[in-house]
Amino acid sequence: MESIFVHEEAMKAQLALLVINFFSWRSDINQWLHSEDSETSLRKMLQYAPCTPIH
């Protein structure tokens, strides 16, 4: 796989925008995460970006 360089400040800005976007859609995201519709999408996402839930 080819490496892609991304400027640190650009990544920080992108992450900040994601946080703002997710926060504004929080209730919709929460509903989707707990629905049957999310199962396939989440499985695909976790294939590429595994994570550990924090509760």
pTM attached to this predicted model:
0.44
Q: Averaged over 17-46, what is the pLDDT?
A: 83
- 33-51 pLDDT, tens digit per residue, is 888 888 888 778 777 776 6
3-state secondary structure the chain: CCCCCCCHHHHHHHHHHHHHHHHHCHHHHHHHHCCCCHHHHHHHHHHHCCCCCCC
